[in-house]
């Protein structure tokens, strides 16, 4: 970059200053001094000239944005964990962090893999990343076999999971698929940050784990920044790391009877449905299943929002927040009103409803013109 372009990266417009003020006030009111400090750091990160996402990467963004959101989340979560230990508030009933040590190591390993890609985009091939993810989860499941689901509410699947090797392979497949689903859906402001914030909030409310409390707080702050500014994404470090943390925590808590598999399906519905639907669509259209495109539901919803709002950031944020509330928000709503126990398999009916809603929205949000999808470099 030239000196002038570097200098311009630090110039804030009047609109930028208003957004920054709003974010700092919200962060301080909700999270106190910690929130204010993290918000300042997030703003500083967005002014860096490295680890920047291309404008056309997600088919939604209209400005270059930083990919280091996930790295900041883990950094500030670590600060909270250390502070929690220093204050003597760490809960040790289920491991010192709320999950067993292997879950923490698995999340950090996946985040580190993504961090390399964030800092040196294109350095790691999609195949290498996929193989590395498989290796990480094979090791984690191998030394922590209690992750293999015991009861998902379907007898046939339960029988398959009860077979040691097959159960382990299916568990690894689900974990790898999930973190890539999170990575694929990251792009609409508030969509994936909203989901992970809701998830860690529910995990914390049910367990009181320090690990969940720290991530709930950091992800909540990041969501505020992501929605209002639109200049920071989770990146591969965030998608892989947080996706791994959710997958491993969810499996562990489900096997402990804290949540049912069906409830977790509702909580994680959007990225999972999006991944399965996208793969099926590409097969039906005769396209490669490994080359991403921009014909996802959030791309279609964003197209419609752009017709209604002149603000590009507002259209993006409205897309992400509405989908996050519609899917993960449904789990939070039912939980808060105690309409259905989180251990019930009847959440499967809610999941079927979400699949139906996804299909209806995908059909109705068709831009009514030939979509020009771009085969972009796999993330």
Is the pLDDT assigned to residue 287 strictly greater than 90?
no
Indicate the pLDDT class of residue 99, thresholds 50, 70 and 90: low
> According to the model, what pLDDT value does residue 86 have?
80
Six token digits for residue 200: 């860690």
Indicate the pLDDT class of residue 67, thresholds 50, 70 and 90: confident
For 126-185, the pLDDT digits (tens) are: 889 999 999 999 999 998 888 899 888 888 998 998 888 999 999 999 999 999 999 988
> According to the model, what pLDDT value does residue 63 have?
54
Indicate the pLDDT class of residue 20, thresholds 50, 70 and 90: confident
Percent of the chain with pLDDT over 70: 86
Closest CA to 23 of 38, 8, 11, 45: 38
Tell me which of 57-61, 154-158, 262-266 is least confident.
57-61
Average pLDDT over residues 61-90: 80
Is the pLDDT assigned to residue 256 strictly greater than 70?
yes
Q: Residue 44, CB half-sphere, CA atoms under 13 Å: how many?
A: 7
Average pLDDT over residues 231-235: 86
CB atoms under 10 Å from CB of 372, counted, come to 9
The ranges assigned to domains in the chain are: 12-364
Say what the pTM is: 0.86
> According to the model, what pLDDT value does residue 91 have?
54
């Amino acid at each position: 970059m030239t000196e002038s372009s570097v200098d311009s990266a630090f110039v804030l417009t009047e609109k930028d200053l208003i957004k920054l003020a709003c974010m700092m006030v919200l962060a301080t009111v909700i999270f106190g001094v910690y929130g204010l400090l993290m918000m300042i750091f997030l703003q500083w990160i967005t002014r860096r000239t490295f680890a920047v996402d291309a404008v056309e990467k997600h088919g939604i963004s209209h400005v270059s944005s930083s990919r280091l959101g996930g790295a900041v989340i883990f950094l500030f979560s670590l600060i909270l964990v250390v502070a929690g230990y220093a204050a003597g508030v760490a809960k040790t009933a289920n491991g010192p962090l709320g999950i067993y040590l292997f879950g923490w190591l698995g999340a950090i390993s996946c985040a580190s893999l993504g961090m390399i890609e964030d800092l040196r985009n294109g350095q790691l091939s999609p195949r290498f990343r996929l193989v590395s993810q498989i290796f990480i989860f094979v090791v984690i499941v191998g030394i922590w076999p209690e992750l293999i689901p015991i009861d998902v509410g379907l007898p046939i699947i339960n029988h398959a999971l009860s077979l040691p090797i097959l159960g382990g392979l299916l568990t690894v497949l689900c974990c790898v698929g999930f973190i890539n689903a999170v990575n694929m859906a990251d792009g609409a402001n508030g969509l994936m940050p909203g989901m992970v914030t809701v998830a860690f909030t529910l995990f914390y409310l049910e367990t009181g784990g320090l690990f969940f409390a720290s991530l709930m707080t950091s992800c909540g702050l990041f969501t505020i920044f992501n929605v209002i500014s639109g200049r920071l994404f989770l990146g591969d470090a965030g998608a892989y790391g947080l996706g791994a943390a959710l997958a491993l925590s969810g499996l562990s808590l489900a096997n402990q009877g804290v949540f049912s598999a069906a409830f977790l399906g509702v909580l994680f519905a959007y990225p999972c449905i999006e991944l399965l639907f996208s793969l099926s669509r590409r097969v039906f259209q005769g396209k490669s299943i490994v080359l991403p495109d921009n014909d996802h539901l959030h791309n279609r919803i964003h197209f419609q929002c752009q017709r209604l709002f002149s603000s590009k950031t507002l259209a993006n944020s409205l897309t992400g927040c509405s989908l996050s509330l519609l899917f993960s928000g449904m789990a939070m709503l039912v939980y808060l009103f105690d309409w259905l126990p989180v251990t019930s398999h009847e959440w499967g009916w809610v999941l079927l409803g979400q699949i139906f809603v996804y299909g209806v929205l995908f059909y109705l949000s068709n831009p009514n013109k030939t979509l020009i999808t771009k085969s972009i470099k796999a993330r």
